[in-house]
Chains A and B, each alone.
Chain A
Amino acid sequence: MKNEMKMEFDAISANEAFARVAVAAFVSELDPTLEEVSDIKTAVSEAVTNAIIHGYDGIEGGKVNIRCLIEQDVLHVEVMDKGNGIEDIEKAMEPLFTTKPELNRSGMGFPFMEAFMDDLEVLSVAGEGTTVIMKKKIGCIPWIEDEE
């Protein structure tokens, strides 16, 4: 099975909810569990929020692109912006590291994407933009049981 979806929307915070719900709706054909849906929504929300806040500095006028691909039981999600790009990707991915503490950012965006998806790749060129590529296999039992 193969299925692809692309969308483009304005980089404004009102679209964050729309983006995560749209991706969650697209993946519904794989019959994900509620937990898997929450995982995907959180990860997409983080990536889109990063594009808006960091990619475009919260300034309106930019666009965020999302491309989703379902291949067998794996969801691929790409979140792209043509904004600032990231100078030091390794540093940006460190837990609790943030360049915008004044905006109450927690520095947990990338760690949450890593925690809730199976694979995370960040491609970025300073001044040109950032693409976040995430993958998640749907319908497999997590190999680490929840501690609770």
Chain B
Amino acid sequence: MTSLSSGTPARAEAQATGALGRAVVEVRGLRMNYGTTEVLRGVDLTVRRGEVVALLGPNGAGKTTTIEILEGFRRRSDGEVSVLGTDPDRGDERWRARLGVVLQSWRDHARWRVRELVDHFGRFYAPYSEEGRTRPADTDRLLEVLGLTEHAGKRVEDLSGGQRRRVDVALGVVGRPELLFLDEPTAGLDPRARRDFHELIHRLVDEEDTTVLLTTHDLDEAEKLADRILILAGGRIVADGSAEQLTALVERESEVAWTVDGARHLHTTGSPARHVAELYRVHGDAVANLRVTRPSLEEVYLDMVRHHESGAAERAAAEFGKEIR
């Protein structure tokens, strides 16, 4: 594997020692209104150095708005925001040089050649090297890590969707960022390109000491990519934890289904084991086709998304919050 740096990955260190890294992103009471529409109603979140954090939520929940505020591309209505120790509204070029940005959809520079493009944007970072972080990354090595070496001479417009997305990532990390924002990184990619992309992000994070904040509307992607998942719904963060933690938090009652003498039965209960024991005590071997289902995080999440999309955003968020705590 080609490494871009020789620095010790803070992520591995933090995971080994269990110590919390310093906060790279801190958001308190973030609010955003468009006219009379409140998109964000008091978002609190923290991202620590070396973490990969996914901001998960249905379409229209305000994920992109949040990330654009953090990137310094949008002015917030209210709240405190600090990104790498700086308020994004007042971030200067030196601050910008420490960030990497991969936005949702790009179709720019269609006629540029891949290597030419990556090299061009790398040049802007040259005056912003820091100790232990020489900027920019070497173009050819970066292309190699991203599997783009064989496409280096191709025009961007001739690339496949997955290759194009890797070019976007190359441009996002060519300045060797301390913090990388990825907005819906795999939207529109086929499953294989998607898996390759996930591997790629893991490699970059492990080798480059880069903290990542990504948005996605796909729980599966969040589980695969992130150390920690923040669920954004109804303009607030309604859940925060690793996939395992979130799963454990789901308290919805389990479903017990069975048939006795050909008749099907269904019962919802908080203590399925006791119910099953009771069934056997009463019916003995007449119980057939027994099935106990505990709703997964995914089902709870999808329910929330369905409610959200049917317009009851706030109610959906509140219910989800109840179920998960």
Answer whether A and B are interacting partners: no
Instruction: Report which A residues bind B (CB closer than 8 A).
Output: none
Residues of B within 8 A of A (CB): none
